[in-house]
Amino acid sequence: MEKQVFAVIIAASIAALIPTSEAAAYNCTTYGRYAITTDTTCQSYYLCFPEDDGTYTVYNETCPTTTLFDPTTANCVNSSSYTCTNGEDSTTTEATETTTTAAYDCTTYGRYAITTDTTCQSYYLCFPEDDGTYTRYNETCPTTTVFDPTVAKCVNSSAYTCTNDATTTDAATTTDSATTTDSTTTTDAATTTVAATTTEAATTTEAATTTIFACTAYGRYAITTDTTCKTYYFCTLNSDGSFTMEEFTCPTTTIFNPTKSKCVAPSAYTCTN
């Protein structure tokens, strides 16, 4: 399934491509990033993204220049931090699925600070599985941003002062949140809530936009005020009957089609927002 590390010491944006035949050949069974072991540069990887019908869409993504994809952390890292071994074993043909393991125990969906990270750029993403368990992913905020546990999202480094100490024990923050772009609001189905959403841009300039939307059912819903048609709301049902609303952005070169409730190629849908 949005889980990570979302590099990462990774540059402010990662180019996501429309699924190719090569990507389609990879069988996604859970959300995450997985190495393309046939890539001898170690810069590309598969991004498996869940759809409403329970299937997964596979995207080919490429790490920013000067970084490589590290399958042990499932994110892009500085080339000096990882040695590429792809191509050394000619029998390797499949991408290896990797999820990081650690002492932190996920009990609810959201992003949680990795308090031992003195840069405050990394965090845990806890993602629910069909069997009721949670998979934990290590994610890293884009360059020039840090993770703010009070809002459970990546923010401009000038907006949050990192206080993490290397001796601190990891602990979960109390704010639920999640994914590509970045605001989570929990609402009752019968209640209309004004949700302020902040979109992270490559320039790291944060622009707040206010819109009225209330989740009343599970699914993805177009943000009609977005004239680019790239963003949408994702509503998930909580155990108490309320809904969590998250704002997502479609991968680069795709836009959101409200009829199909998914990201598609611009040639497949005309934006009318």
Residue 263: per-residue pLDDT: 85
Backbone angles phi, psi at 191, to 5 degrees: -110, 135
Instruction: Determine the Cα–Cα distance for residues 216 and 27; give it in Å rounded to an integer.
Output: 32
Given a contact cutoff of 8 angstroms between Cβ atoms, the answer to whether 17 and 84 are in contact is no
Q: Provide the β-strand partners of residue 224.
A: none
Residue 27: per-residue pLDDT: 82
Tens digit of pLDDT per residue, the chain (273 long)? 444 433 333 333 333 334 444 455 678 887 778 899 888 999 888 888 777 677 778 887 878 777 888 888 887 888 888 899 887 654 433 444 444 334 578 888 788 898 888 999 888 888 777 677 877 877 778 777 888 898 888 888 899 999 987 554 444 333 333 333 344 444 333 333 333 333 333 333 334 445 578 888 888 899 999 999 988 888 877 767 788 788 887 877 889 999 988 888 899 999 999
Residue 204: C-alpha distances to residues 3, 81, 156, 263, 272 (Å): 21, 25, 6, 24, 27
Backbone angles phi, psi at 114, to 5 degrees: -95, 95
Given a contact cutoff of 8 angstroms between Cβ atoms, the answer to whether 247 and 181 are in contact is yes
Backbone angles phi, psi at 124, to 5 degrees: -95, 140
In this structure, what token pair is assigned to residue 49? 């993204």
Nearest residue to 111 (alpha-carbon basis) of 97, 133, 127, 100: 127
Residue 140: per-residue pLDDT: 78
Q: Which amino acid is at 34?
A: Y
pTM: 0.35
3-class DSSP state for residue 256?
strand
The structural domains of the chain, with segments of one domain joined by +, span 1-179, 181-273
| Residue 52 falls in which region: left (phi positive, over 0), alpha (psi -120 to 50) or beta | alpha
Residue 89: per-residue pLDDT: 56
Residue 25: per-residue pLDDT: 65
Q: Sort strands 122-128 and 134-140 into parallel, antiparallel or unpaired.
A: antiparallel
Residue 258: per-residue pLDDT: 92
